[in-house]
Structure formats: structure tokens, C-alpha cells
């Protein structure tokens, strides 16, 4: 941008973009509100069916269906396909939140609930809003993004805490070691309790049991009559959120309003 020229030649187009964003939210809310209890499974789109991670993701998805959960993925190939396949073939709800990308992403054929998104940030809100827990298999930047965003929301109490499982200790252990040695001890950028926000495992049954137990405990707390009465609606409808919990309003420490020269 140079001088006083606007960044966009036609600002009205930016206003109309809001309606496309709104339409994606409306479509996502309407479609996902009927899904019920579900767990998000993240992982690499590049994992092939011959890899053990693919097979374990398929097994875990089927086990989650046995535990009364639906499964939500990004709808693409790799780990996402494995999870959708496991849930679908086990007779459960298999959701794919597909994203339109210039390359790589292709919707898998194991979704019985399928939604397409243009905007990553809308899709990410839907992920967080409609899941009761998450599992991260080995993955790339996208998986890391989902993991750390969820950690931030839980750590800052912008959403109610829910169970997070890191599956495959060989893949995740170096990152956890970095958190402990560098982030916690050396730089002190996180607290010891932050490392309790997730569970590391290689066992399908342990992961499924952990998710079911944690979700049941959360539901029991939320069904407390006082909490339900204050909320004004059934607590089951308020288990998850998209980072909109209210907190203290940011205020300037100086006395009085800011003065602009």
C-alpha cells in the first residue's frame, strides 16, 4: 500500500465476503447440531493404508463407535480416511469437514455426514465447537495447528477442558520432551499443570476408555442442578464451545480514557 490508495481496489467485495463466511458458519452449525457426541481425530493426509498409524486410526475410530461416539475428521485421505472408514464400517456417525485446497486435499468416501469449507478458520471453529475430545495421530503442520490451538483454548479457559490424546509415543515424545525441558524448565513459558492437559498413549483401548471416562465425568459435572439452572438450558448443549467463554474485559491500567493527540 502506497500513499492513500486502498489495499483493495473494490472495498465492496470485502463486505460481500462476510456473507460467504456467514453462510459457512450457518451450514456448519445446522449440519453438526444433529451429530451428537463425537471425537475429532487429526493426523497426516499422507499416511498410506499400509502404515501402522493408518490401521490404528481405523481401529480406534471403530472402538470409539463402540463407546458411543461419532468421529469427526478433516475429510481427506490418510489418517482422516482411516478414521472415517473405521467409524463408518462400525456403523457409527462418520463426519468429514472437508476443505477446498489448491492441492493435496481430496474427500474420502467414508463420510456419512459431509460438509465443505472454503475458510480454514470457519472449519476450525466447527471442529472445536462440536467435539467432546480429540485424538492427534502423527501429522504435519495442520495437526500441530489443531493441537496447539486446542491447548491454548483449554489453557486459557476459553473453552471447557476436554480430553486430548496424543497417539504414537515415538512421534510425540520428542515434542513433549521439548515442552518439558525448554518451555517449562528453561524458558518457563508454560506451567507444570499444562502438561497434564493431554495424554500420551500407543494403546487403542486405553485411548477410547480415557475419552469415554473423561466425557462422562464432564457430563456428570455439567448436569449439576445449580449449574444447569444458571445456564438456563440443558448442560449437554453447552459441553463444548468455540472459545467464547466470557472473562475479564481488557482495560487500560491508566486512569481515565486514552487520549489521542
Q: Quote the pLDDT of residue 37.
A: 95
How is the chain split into domains, by residue range? 35-238
| pTM for this model (two decimals) | 0.87
Domain 35-238 in CATH 3.20.20.70: no
Alpha-helical (H) ranges within the chain are 11-32, 52-66, 79-89, 120-129, 141-155, 169-178, 204-222, 225-231
Q: Quote the pLDDT of residue 135.
A: 98
Residues in the chain: 261
- In our burial notation (b when 16+ CB lie closer than 10 A, e otherwise), range 196-214 reads eebbebeebeebbebbbeb
Cell representation of residue 231: 445456564
d(CA 228, CA 222): 7
The pLDDT tens digits for 86-140 are: 999 999 999 999 998 887 567 899 999 999 999 999 999 999 999 999 999 999 9
Helices (H) and strands (E) in the chain, counts: 8, 7
The pLDDT tens digits for 124-133 are: 999 999 999 9
d(CA 155, CA 131): 17
Give Rg (Cα) of the chain: 20
Residues of the chain with pLDDT under 70: 1-9, 104-105, 222-241, 244-261
Amino acid at each position: 500500500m502506497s500513499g492513500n490508495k486502498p489495499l483493495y481496489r473494490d472495498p465492496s467485495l470485502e463486505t460481500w465476503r462476510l456473507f460467504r463466511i456467514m453462510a459457512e458458519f450457518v451450514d456448519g452449525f445446522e449440519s453438526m447440531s444433529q451429530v451428537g457426541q463425537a471425537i475429532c481425530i487429526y493426523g497426516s493426509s499422507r499416511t498410506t493404508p499400509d502404515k501402522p498409524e493408518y490401521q490404528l486410526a481405523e481401529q480406534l475410530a471403530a472402538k470409539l463407535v463402540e463407546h458411543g461416539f461419532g468421529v469427526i475428521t478433516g475429510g481427506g485421505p490418510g489418517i482422516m480416511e482411516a478414521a472415517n472408514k473405521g467409524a463408518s464400517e462400525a456403523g457409527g456417525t462418520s463426519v468429514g469437514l472437508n476443505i477446498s485446497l489448491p492441492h493435496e486435499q481430496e474427500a474420502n468416501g467414508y463420510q456419512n455426514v459431509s460438509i465443505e469449507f472454503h475458510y480454514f478458520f470457519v472449519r476450525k471453529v466447527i471442529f472445536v465447537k462440536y467435539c467432546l475430545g480429540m485424538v492427534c495421530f502423527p501429522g504435519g503442520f495442520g495437526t500441530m495447528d489443531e493441537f496447539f490451538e486446542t491447548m491454548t483454548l483449554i489453557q486459557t479457559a476459553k473453552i471447557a477442558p476436554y480430553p486430548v490424546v496424543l497417539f504414537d509415543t515415538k512421534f510425540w515424545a520428542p515434542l513433549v520432551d521439548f515442552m518439558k525441558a525448554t518451555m517449562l524448565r528453561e524458558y518457563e513459558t508454560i506451567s507444570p499443570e499444562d502438561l497434564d492437559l493431554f495424554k500420551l498413549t500407543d494403546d487403542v483401548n486405553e485411548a477410547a476408555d480415557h475419552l469415554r471416562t473423561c466425557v462422562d465425568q464432564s457430563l456428570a459435572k455439567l448436569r449439576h442442578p445449580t449449574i444447569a439452572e444458571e445456564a438456563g438450558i440443558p448442560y449437554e448443549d453447552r459441553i463444548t464451545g468455540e472459545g467464547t467463554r466470557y472473562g475479564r474485559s481488557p482495560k487500560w491500567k491508566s486512569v481515565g480514557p486514552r487520549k489521542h493527540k
